[in-house]
Structure 1
Amino acid sequence: MRTEVEKAVAGIEQVLTLLRRHLDWDTAQLRLDALNAQTESPDFWNDPEKARAAMRERDDLDVAVKSVHELESGISDNVELIELGEAEGDDEIVVEAETALFDLQSMARRRQIETLLSGEVDSNDCYLEIHSGAGGTESQDWANMLLRMYTRWAERRKMKVETIEMHDGEEAGIKSATIQIKGHNAYGWLKTESGVHRLVRISPYDSAARRHTSFSSVWVYPVVDDSINIEINESDLKVDTYRASGAGGQHVNTTDSAIRITHVPTGIIVACQAERSQHKNRATAMAMLKARMYEAEMQKREEAANAQAASKTDIGWGHQIRSYVLQPYQMVKDLRTSVESGQPALVLDGDIDQFMEAALAERVGVATDTDGD
């Protein structure tokens, strides 16, 4: 085998060793067998809260164990194919197997980072909010492009996306939107996306074809379950009802079913117009408020923990994290990790893994050789 291929195999095997150690491999397999047996019990759902916790643990463990098996079989199968191709002088088989091993190496890096997402709510679903900045139609169109980017990213990972709230722009795009992304480690992957995203391009809305710079803010926070106790006093809430806007069926605008809740002490505002029922929208908005308050507390803890680390990049709300340049050249650059891509069209179509991997690797201290295209 070529030196590059041998390095790829060694890298995958190193990750496998780390994953097995992190999982406590023998114990993890025994625990998964026990959980599978538990979920097949006829009285499993007698205690729904306990059952949901067990299901989540089982699903997380199942994904982790299957990842190890997938990497193991990937190495074995492709090394055998390379040896077979070399023995028979079939270069096509060799090239295909080598390409598969390089892809497997990239997957191994992702699995390593994902396994190390050990935060309390990293495995949870999440809410993602997008707000257009100053600049009218141009900024609102940029916010809509970001909404599509994250939706496409989620779809690539087989995650579900639900629209919670959306306000359309006057001419094009959106003023704001909130979506819920449901899938394994949704919050863990997306949590580093919070911040300001900058677009530079020739505006399609400018008759003089001038270059414009637009900004939109992204905010990601986890969906939290009832096991996390967040106390909210009703007296601290300001609740407004209004008529929903945007797509949603012929009856969406006929009643004041949309809900906006303001938590006065913190200034946190959430809104929901996903359902026709005001009660359902209020329940969803309260769940969002609880999640926002929990995330704010987590951020305070993280900032306190990092206060002494001058090298840490501040990625809080209101700070620019990434630039997307479409003219006069094409480049997407993450300002925290310096990861770049020369293919913004792919990035805006949801190909953002390299940016998230680098940001997450920096957080958990994992070495990565992620490079732009």
Structure 2
Amino acid sequence: MRTEIEKTVAEIEQVLTLLRRHLDWDTAELRLDALTAQTESPEFWNDPEKARTTMRERDELDVAVKSVRELEAGIRDNVELIALGEAEADSAVVKEAEDALLELKQLARRRQIETLLSGEVDANDCYVEIHSGAGGTESQDWANMLLRMYTRWAERRKMKVEIIEMHDGEEAGIKSATIVIKGHNAYGWMKTESGVHRLVRISPYDSAARRHTSFSSVWVYPVVDDTIDIDIREADLKVDTYRASGAGGQHVNTTDSAIRITHIPSGIIVACQQERSQHKNRATAMAMLKSRLYEAELQKREEEANAQSASKTDIGWGHQIRSYVLQPYQMVKDLRTSVESGQPSLVLDGDLDAFMEAALAQRVGVATDVESQ
């Protein structure tokens, strides 16, 4: 094999060594077998709360073990293909295997970063709130583009997306939307997306075809379960009902089933119009409020922990984190990590991994070689 391919294989194997060490490989395989045996027991669901905890541990361990085995198999199969192609002077086979190894290197790097997702709720599902900024139709269209971008990113990762609440713009786009992304490490990956996103383009809504700058805000917080105790006093809540807007059927649009809850001490506001039942919408809104309060506490802890750090990264609400320029040139640039892409159409179609990986690595102080696209 050529030197560059040998180097690629060595880099993947180095990541594999780190992943096995992180998992404590022999113990992990035994633990996975034991957890799988527990889930197959007829009495497993007699204690639902314990069963859910066990299932979660089992599923997370299963994903980690399969990731290592996938990398091992990928190295083995493609190294064998290269040897076979070189022996038969089949350059097409060699090129295919080399390309596959380069893709495997990117996957290995992603798996390495995933090992850093060890926060209390990194493995959880997450809520994503998107709000258009000042600027009317232009910013509302930009908010809708962001909603599509995150939906496509989730779909690429085989995650599920549900719309919790949405307010359409007067002419186009959306004023705001809340979605929940369901999948392994959804919050861990998405948490660095909180902030202000800036778009520069020739406005399709301007008859003079002038260039416009639009802003929309994104806020990400984890879905938390009943194992996390958040004290919410009923006296601290202001609950409003209102008629749902947007798509949802005749019943949704003609009854006051939507719920808005304001947590008076913190000023946090959540809303839900997903269900026809006011009771169900209230339950969902309360779950969202609980998650928002928990996320606020996580952010407070992080800010306190980083108070003395000169390299602290602002990731909170109100901080611009990324610019998407469509005119006069084409570029997406993350202002925190300096990662760039010259293909904004791909980024807006959900190709966000390079930006997320770099932001995660920076957040935990780990160097990476994530390259500009």
TM-score (norm 2): 0.99
Determine the C-alpha separation between the residues in 2 that align with 1:2 and 1:235: 70
Partner SS, residue 213 of structure 1: strand
Report the counterpart of residue 80 of structure 1 in structure 2: 80
- Give, in whole Å, the separation in 2 of the partners of 1:203 and 1:11: 45
Q: Which residue of 1 aligns with 2:214?
A: 214
What amino acid is aligned across from residue 41 of structure 1 in structure 2? Answer: S
2:181 is aligned with what amino acid? Answer: I
1:313 shift after superposition: 1.4
User: CA RMSD of the aligned region, Å?
Assistant: 0.6
C-alpha contact 2:313 2:363 (8 A) present in aligned 1: no
Q: 2:236 — aligned with what?
A: 236
Following superposition, the deviation at residue 368 of structure 1 comes to 1.7
Kindly provide the amino acid, as one letter, of the partner of residue 93 in structure 1. V
Q: Distance in 2 between matches of 1:108 and 1:366?
A: 15
Distance 2:292 2:246 in 1: 24
Q: CA deviation at 1:32?
A: 0.4
Please state whether the residue corresponding to 1:253 is helix, strand or coil: helix
Note if 1:49 corresponds to 2:62. no
Identity %: 87
Match of 1:35 in 2: 35
Gaps of 5+ in 1: none
Question: Quick one: distance in 2 between partners of 1:23 and 1:279?
Answer: 43
| Mapped pair 1:183 → 2:183 | yes
Q: Structure 2 counterpart of 1:342, which letter?
A: G
CA displacement, residues 265-317 of structure 1 (integer Å, 9 cap, x when unaligned): 00000000000000000000000000000000000000000001111211111
Match of 1:336 in 2: 336
* Structure 1 stretches of at least 4 aligned residues deviating more than 4 Å after TM superposition: none
Q: What residue identity is the alignment partner of 1:129?
A: E
For residues 230 and 329 of structure 1, what CA distance do their matches in structure 2 show? 48
Distance 2:103 2:364 in 1: 23
Alignment pair present for 1:314 and 2:344: no
The amino acid across from 1:231 in the alignment is: D
* Contact 2:341–2:372 under 8 Å retained in 1: yes
Instruction: Give 2:301's aligned residue.
Output: 301
SS at match of 2:254: coil
Deviation at 1:116, TM superposition (A): 1.8
- Please show how residues 106-185 of structure 1 align to structure 2 within 5 Å: 106-185=106-185
Q: Deviation per CA, 1:220-240: give whole Å up to 9, x if none.
A: 000000000000000000000
Unpaired runs of 5+ in structure 2? Answer: none
**CA-CA distance at 1:12 after TM superposition:** 0.5
- 1-side partners of 2:167 and 2:295: how far apart? 24
Partner of 2:282: 282
CA distance in 2, matches of 1:270, 1:245: 16
Match of 2:325 in 1: 325
Matches within 5 A, 1:227-266: 227-266=227-266
Higher deviation after alignment, 141-150 or 6-15 = 6-15
Structure 2 contact 165–274 (Cα < 8 Å) conserved: yes
Task: Provide Cα deviations, 1:306-356, integer angstroms capped at 9, x if missing partner.
Answer: 001111211111000000000000000000000000000000000011100
Query: Comparing 334-343 with 78-87, which one deviates more in the overlay?
Result: 78-87
* Alignment pair present for 1:5 and 2:5: yes
How far apart are residue 367 of structure 1 and its match? 2.5
Report the alpha carbon displacement of residue 3 of structure 1 after superposing the two structures with TM. 2.0
